[in-house]
Amino acid sequence: AIKESKHQQLDECQLVLFCQEIQVLSICHYPFLLSFIGFTNCFPYSIVTKHITKGSIWNALHHDDPLSGDNKNKIAIGIAAGMAELHRHNIIHGDLKSLNVLLDDDYMPVICDFGMSKILEFENETIALAKNVGTPAWMAPELFSNGEISNKSDVYSFGILLWELETSNIPFKGVKPDQLSDMVVNKQERPLIPSNSPVE
């Protein structure tokens, strides 16, 4: 698979993000993380990775392919293992969501899209970003309020993704970003866990 930039020339910020994504992909070699093949250093600026066949969890849940309970369980476990590997390398994904987890032929998850990832200098470091960077429904409260990101931000996003897997619903569907910020930060509202969800 080829992720190709639409820009003929990368400005300083775009170049930093491009190099950062390459660096993250090149660090982690793990079954539940997207396999890195190579990149180009001139136009068209591209990142080449393994092609994952079944598309994203988002498509499976909301469009194409209803997932069985067993598949949902192994997907959840695989994502947890992949994220633990990232955090072991002091890498924050920064945009974990169902669109950024692909499924292979065996319905095993592959975490992808490291364009917003950050590599920390030391464990449990907090990095200040611009506010509202990410995808609102999966964003941790601190990203709305002060733009700070840490590995705990990924944990929050993973929780929302687990809810999405359990319910097959879109988190905070129909809520506008400014309303969502008030709900998540000020009112501390979260998606309700269905009463029939298993406790273990």
Residues that are catalytic: 95
Task: Kindly tell me the sign of the dihedral angle through the C-alpha atoms of 160, 164, 169, 170.
Answer: positive
CA–CA dist 176, 154 (Å, integer): 22
Complete DSSP assignment for 120-133:
-SSTT--EE--TT-
Residue 78 structure tokens: 């695989």
- Token pair belonging to 96: 């974990």
Radius of gyration of the chain (CA): 17
Q: How far is CA 5 from CA 15, 89, 101, in A?
A: 11, 27, 20
Rounded CA-CA distance 137/79 in Å is 18
Cis omega before residue 44 (within 30°)? Answer: yes
Q: Determine the Cα–Cα distance for residues 101 and 129; give it in Å rounded to an integer.
A: 23
Give 127's strand partners.
149
